C-alpha cells in the first residue's frame, strides 16, 4: 500500500509541476502578446484618448471664436452699409 501512495504522490507532484510550468508559459505568452500589440499600436501613430480630447477641445474653442468673429464682422458690415 505504501508503494501505491508513493506513485500517487509522484503523479500528484508531477501534475503540480506541470501546472506551474503551464501557468508560467501562459503569463509569458500574455506579456509577449501585450508587448507586440503595444509596438503595433505605436507604429500606427494612433493618438491617445487624452490627445484626442485636447484637440477636440481646441477645435471647439476655435469654432466658437470663429462664430464670435463672424458675428462681429457682420455687425461691422451692417454698420458700414447702413
- List the Cα angle 45/46/47 in 5-degree steps: 115
State pTM to two decimals.
0.47
Q: What's CA 6's distance to the chain center, in Å?
A: 50
C-alpha cell at 37: 500589440
DSSP track, 47-65: PPHHHHHHHHHHHHHHHHH
Q: So where are the chain's domains? A: 1-46, 47-82
From first to last of its 82 residues, the chain has per-residue pLDDT tens of 455 688 888 888 888 988 888 898 999 999 999 999 988 888 888 888 999 999 999 999 999 999 999 999 999 999 999 8
Amino acid at each position: 500500500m505504501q508503494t501505491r501512495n508513493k506513485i500517487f504522490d509522484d503523479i500528484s507532484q508531477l501534475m503540480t509541476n506541470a501546472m506551474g510550468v503551464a501557468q508560467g508559459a501562459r503569463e509569458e505568452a500574455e506579456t509577449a502578446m501585450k508587448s507586440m500589440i503595444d509596438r503595433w499600436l505605436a507604429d500606427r501613430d494612433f493618438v491617445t484618448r487624452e490627445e484626442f480630447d485636447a484637440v477636440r477641445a481646441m477645435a471647439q474653442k476655435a469654432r466658437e471664436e470663429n462664430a464670435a468673429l463672424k458675428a462681429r464682422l457682420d455687425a461691422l458690415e451692417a454698420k458700414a452699409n447702413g
